[in-house]
Amino acid sequence: MSENTEAGQAIKLDPWFGHYADRASGLSASEVRALFAVASRPEVVSLAGGMPFVRALPEDLINGALSRVMSEQGPTALQYGSGQGVPALREQILEIMALEGISASVDDIVVTTGSQQALDLVTKLFINPGDVVLAEAPSYVGAIGVFRSYQAHIEHVDMDNDGLIPDALRAAITRMGAEGRTIKFLYTIPNFHNPAGVTLSAERRPEILQICQDAGILVLEDNPYGLLSFDEDVPPAIRSLDEDGVIYLGSFSKTLAPGFRVGWALAPHAIKEKLVLAAESAILCPSSFSQLVISEYLASADWMGQIISFRDVYRERRDTMLTSLAEHLPELSWTVPNGGFYVWVTLPDALDSKAMLPRAVTELVAYTPGTAFYADGGGRQNLRLSFCYPTPENIRIGIRRLATVINGELDLLSTFAGTGSLTASAGEDNVISPPPDMS
């Protein structure tokens, strides 16, 4: 483009440099992306991904749903549909949410292209540049990416083993108020948190809600893992306590299969109206085919029985991971998840999870460095381990390899004690989004 007035090196790389919207600067590739590409080699044990173990899903259940959808509703499945989603599926979603105490109207559900799209649409609807999203420290990498893509300021709120800490939430609200900032919503994953692995206690749920109600802050409750409990059911959803102040996000990606890309939002009625318009603007309508297949699966298969068998698979893997950590890395600390996919590990002070990752990949094990889950450069002393996808045998191998890496770093550290931090300091703020199948 000869008329392009941008100067310098960038013009050679991208003739449209300088033409992008301001928000495009919030989109950055992860610097661990290349590493994850390496980590996807079969000889590497990946404890980095958030992929469900779909092989545990009997394919004949899906095949049956597919053939019935085509024979009974083929032209509907192949056609455009409602922007809000298939009514029959929305009715079934009500039944699923009732398991966590939610009572709602089918008219207030919007089916989305995975719950990630619901996150995107809610953020598009509420966030002006500079508006605040409160999010747990750490928080879901994909949510941080969405919030940044609309130029939100992400303010982290500390957690402990009972989840989000009410006093920390109060303090964050006060802090943002003192800075004159507008808080638009609290983003929280109450159950089997990604990446922290912890669950918000039943006692804290009404308290967290009350704090937000008092401050006029919407709660965005993201619950993809709630049904994947190992030991006991989760407490009632925050949404079960308030229908006007909570947008609830659900998903079939973890309890059925992510390949269909079907999730949903349950929103206060007026917000739902706007969400549908935003959804139609973004994609016209969610896939009729995917929705009808899931609806048929829910109608004909013992879907709760299948979720229970998923729980068994993941419980065994969690147990294997915790046992292996205790055996090989007793000097570390970690959370003990009662469900979901993740264990959150804290390293000894001197180690840096991000700087250590290349070494780990060399040893044929991958994890997600804690920095991916912070918007403010935090998380260097943490890493997320996923037990959802690798077999128990591979989890054992992976943790052994990780122990080799960590113990090797610690040995070096003690050898060179007093000479400063061992691991090189990488740039701040640039681990943002691992490739999606890794998140």
Q: Which stretch binds a second copy (CB under 8 A): 56-64, 190-198, 203-211, 357-365?
A: 56-64
CB 112 within 8 A of CB 222: no
Q: Which stretch binds a second copy (CB under 8 A): 9-17, 167-175, 372-380, 390-398?
A: 9-17
Among 192, 260, 264, 297, contact with a second copy (rule: CB under 8 A)? 260
Give backbone dihedrals phi and psi of 382, rounded to 5 degrees, phi first. -125, 160
Q: Is 282 in the site for a second copy (CB under 8 A)?
A: yes
Among 146, 372, 402, 406, contact with a second copy (rule: CB under 8 A)? 146
Q: Is 426 in the site for a second copy (CB under 8 A)?
A: no
SS3 144: helix
Site for a second copy in 161-180 (CB under 8 A): none
Q: Is 394 in the site for a second copy (CB under 8 A)?
A: no
CB 109, min distance to a second copy, A = 17
Of 153, 155, 147, the residue nearest 124 (C-alpha): 147
SS3 per-residue string spanning 380-423: CCEEEEECCCCCHHHHHHHHHHHHHHHHHHHHHHHHCCCCCCCC
Query: Which residue has 């989305």 as its token pair?
Result: 112
Q: Closer to a second copy at the Cβ: 107 or 244?
A: 244
Contact pattern from residue 14 through residue 43 relative to a second copy, giving x for each residue in contact according to CB under 8 A and a dash for the rest: xxxx-xxxxxx--xxx--------------
CB 93 within 8 A of CB 250: yes
Q: Closer to a second copy at the Cβ: 33 or 328?
A: 33
Strands in 333-334's sheet, in edge-to-edge order, are 333-334, 342-346, 382-386, 368-369
How many residues of this chain interact with a second copy, rule: CB under 8 A?
93
CB 204, min distance to a second copy, A = 20
CB 242 within 8 A of CB 205: no
Q: Is 113 in the site for a second copy (CB under 8 A)?
A: yes
Site for a second copy in 122-141 (CB under 8 A): 124-128, 131
CB 256, min distance to a second copy, A = 8
CB 67, min distance to a second copy, A = 7
Among 32, 45, 48, 51, contact with a second copy (rule: CB under 8 A)? 51
In the chain, the amino acid numbered 49 is: G
Q: Is 230 in the site for a second copy (CB under 8 A)?
A: no
DSSP string across 291-353? HHHHHHHHHHS-HHHHHHHHHHHHHHHHHHHHHHHHHH-TTSEE---SBSSEEEEE--TT--H
Contact pattern from residue 60 through residue 89 relative to a second copy, giving x for each residue in contact according to CB under 8 A and a dash for the rest: --xx--xx--x---xxxxxxxxxx------
CB 78, min distance to a second copy, A = 4
Residue 309 token pair? 């068998």
Among 257, 343, 399, 406, contact with a second copy (rule: CB under 8 A)? 257
Residue 429 token pair? 């703020």
Give the contacts of 77 (CB within 8 A, at least 6 positions apart).
69, 70, 288, 289, 292, 293
C-alpha–C-alpha distance, residues 258 and 18, integer Å: 36
Give the contacts of 181 (CB within 8 A, at least 6 positions apart).
130, 131, 132, 153
Among 288, 353, 371, 386, contact with a second copy (rule: CB under 8 A)? 288
Q: Is 294 in the site for a second copy (CB under 8 A)?
A: no
Among 7, 9, 13, 330, contact with a second copy (rule: CB under 8 A)? 13
* 253: Cα within 13 Å, side-chain hemisphere: 28
Q: Is 368 in the site for a second copy (CB under 8 A)?
A: no
Which residues share a beta bridge with 154?
A: 133
Q: Which stretch binds a second copy (CB under 8 A): 87-95, 214-222, 364-372, 375-383?
A: 214-222
Q: Closer to a second copy at the Cβ: 36 or 334?
A: 36
